[in-house]
Amino acid sequence: MRHVITYGTFDLLHYGHIELLKRAKALGDYLIVALSADEFNALKGKKAYFSYEDRKRMLEAIRYVDMVIPENNWEQKPHDIDRYDVDVFVMGDDWTGKFDEILGDKCEIVYLARTPEISTTQIKTDLTGKTNSGK
Ligand code: C2G
């Protein structure tokens, strides 16, 4: 069983997220999503529209997702790789290179091209006409 893991906030779930999860799952047999907790989002300078529980429920309804765990801090990734016997760590390419040092010797690392024309920030901007920092 080839385990894949990916991390993120996945707020206002959109097809860019789905495309990432679909391609991540295709790299193995079992996909774990480490979902940013509300408190960790604050550390990332993000305030998700949906709570952790609501974002978790939506992710668990996606056919590509096998398990959702909380992402509470930046440091947990190596522990998660060990704990869940992860073979492949996947992130969108806005993170290219960021995790090579801490995870390079633990598992395969794959950065997938982001879906260019959509983002949670863009959705918020389009709906409210306001811009804000972050993705
Ligand atoms: N993504 C994508 N295409 C988009 C938008 C997002 O492929 N149009 C990908 C991102 O590259 C990321 C995942 O979907 O791999 C989740 O995106 P976010 O929720 O914005 O995650 P982020 O805030 O980058 O959190 O420890 C890592 C962080 O928790 C990552």
Write the pLDDT tens digit of every residue in 41-88. 999 999 999 999 999 999 999 999 999 999 999 999 999 999 999 999
Residue 94 CB–ligand 1 contact under 6 Å: yes
For residue 9, which atom of ligand 1 is closest to its CA? 19
Residue 9 CB–ligand 1 contact under 6 Å: yes
**Nearest-angstrom CA–CA distance, 94 and 122:** 16
pTM for the structure as a whole: 0.94
Residue 8 CB–ligand 1 contact under 6 Å: yes
Please name the residue ranges forming H helices in 35-131.
Answer: 38-43, 52-60, 77-83, 100-103, 120-128
For residue 93, which atom of ligand 1 is closest to its CA? 11
User: Which helix (H) or strand (E) covers residue 33, if one does?
Assistant: strand 30-36
